[in-house]
Structure 1
Amino acid sequence: MKILFVNTHYFLPQSRGGMANTLDQLCRGLADRGHTPGVLCAFLGSRDMFGLATRARIKVAAMATGIGAAHDAALSYPVWRAWHPVDVLPALAGREQPDIIVAMGGKVVQVIDAARQTGIPLLTQVHDVEFDWHGGDFAHIADVPVVANSQFTADAYRTAFGVDAQVIYPFMPLDQYRTDTHRRVVTFVNPLLRKGFRLGVEIAALCPELPFHFVGAIPDVDETGRELDRGMLALPNLTVEPFRGDMRDVYAQTRVLLAPSQWNEAYGRVINEAQVSGIPVLASTRGGIPEAAQDGGILLPADAPAERWATALRRMWNDETLYADLCAKAVHSASRPQLQAETQLDQHECALEAAINDHRAAHLSGCQLPA
């Protein structure tokens, strides 16, 4: 099966967020099963040598083929990068002729609208409940089969649009994250504002005896666009570093994962990445986080005061009986059948094949047979 995933966000190596990792690992898993996945994504710009080279390739491709999308071999499957993926999608799909086009992330409404021009079977994968991010009214594409990354997400789309989405948790081969851990630090992965950056800093300030480690992009501006005071990070017990290629190096140091998200996060895959090594989470109850964490940690209301978060963290850190119980429950949470790679690949194959078969059936039912 030849599959073209379309993501209007930036992609590896220019983005290392959860959705980018999910798509990358899904492409690799499908390729291992004999399929031919490819990705059309947005281009961040020429901020480094990779960006400069990609920008040049986009110009060359536009002149040579009329399609402003640069193909590269940075990953183990084909990736096309474009300033505006939606604009180049019909021509690229017409040339590559995939068996199915999957709108995965970003402006999925615009992607599906453009993809309809090709006559190729379609599937939508939704990874958030921010309906105003879709580039249009999702109801306009509600007739296309949908895969949701959690039951929380599926319920939100059912309520808002009457969509009956299949639930497949984010694809993450957990064996690639399992590690022995020295349990030395409190780790906060991808500390964006909406994921609780401010609260995380407050908790670290209230627990000066505990070492904190923030991994990922630190926000530069606040919710109103004003520059953040970087001095808030000048805590003696807080270290900061960018994402690592191999997150096992991060989890190998982690005793507690901190996930104080302030928005309706659709799932929270980093929770399971940590849990597979018996690392419990201290997280908020927002969105799909409870579905990801189950009982492998402690959950608090997102608006609970920082003092309450600090108290819960100290309990997890100092109460060895509680900690051992949460560690065991974390491993159990990550061992669910729905999170196992082979099960997830089976589910994805079934969803892709069903979308193709439904498209063919609809096409045949619309044909008029000669008298």
Structure 2
Amino acid sequence: MKVGIPRALLYYYYYPFWKTFFDALNIETVVSKPTSKTIVNKGIEFSVPEICVPIKVFAGHVASIVDQADYIFIPRMVSISKDEYFCPKFMGLPDMIKYTVPGAADKILSPKIQSHSDSISNPKHYTEVKRILGIGSWELQRALFKAEKEWQKFRRLSKEGYVLSDALKIFDGETVKQEVPKNSEETVTIGLMGYVYDIYDEFVSMNVIEKLKEAGVKIITFEMLEEKQLMKRLKFMKKQLFWTFSNKLLGAGYYFYHDPEVDGVIQVTAFGCGPDSMIGKMMELDSNHYNKPFMTVRVDEHTGESHLQTRVEAFVDMIRRKKREGGGGLPYESNLSIHGNNAGL
């Protein structure tokens, strides 16, 4: 038996859990290849035009492996925090794929995940998986225990300062050298905001992580911070957002604004994301108050890579020049929608 795992959306956050879970059940996993123009075009073909880029990309990944597996694993992500929820597109994702991607209707394996924490190892979430795959209760619990253990190891790598792309390589057995720029007057630290499927999909983000590394930038992302650090920065809000990962990003954004070591903030967002438009506007309006530069990079299926590289390099150079001149922080805000027909998606 083979289970397909699309390399999109929460793959970048939960893949070590899912992979370990199916391995423990002696079920072979088929992971789609990294995002390419072909995959994106497939996703566009099988999606409504108004849907956001990450969902189009996900549909393309499903289409690329639907004929290679007996089942496609598409969990129905409802909640991983009390009184907070995922975007409705995540909740309805199994249904969208079922009725849009040819050949997927009878192959979708979609456990309903509704938890009060990031941990998704409660056996009650996997009743459907247990039934369809014919798994015994003890076998299921043993597999979930192993999966949770590996996922916690993976999360600890983030807390140690590894970006998720490097942490995933380590999970797969690769040797990764963590190169953190040495502290100096010209060292630039950037708080990088963005959903994991926006910043860690190298095709979607045009490899923004590597571009920042090449520029000698120290990168901090929300998953490197403790939950209590994120939530502390949201206490000023009378009512938090409804969406879990949006709250994580917003909490990280204000953490970056308060952290004297963070020199600037870059938000990578996909065109058509409603929650992100709210987060970006809040960060933009407060950038002057905290005297820190903020830039939004908005990507869609027509994004051009050369545009992004130019903007990111200019942003980092501006900060580095200001630090060299002894100016510290600076009031700068740029809400950029980067588009182009020459490259990218």
Task: Work out whether the TM-score is over 0.5.
Answer: no
Rg larger for: 1
Higher relative contact order (CA 8 A, sep 6+): 2
State the TM-score, normalizing by the size of structure 1: 0.31
State the TM-score, normalizing by the size of structure 2: 0.33
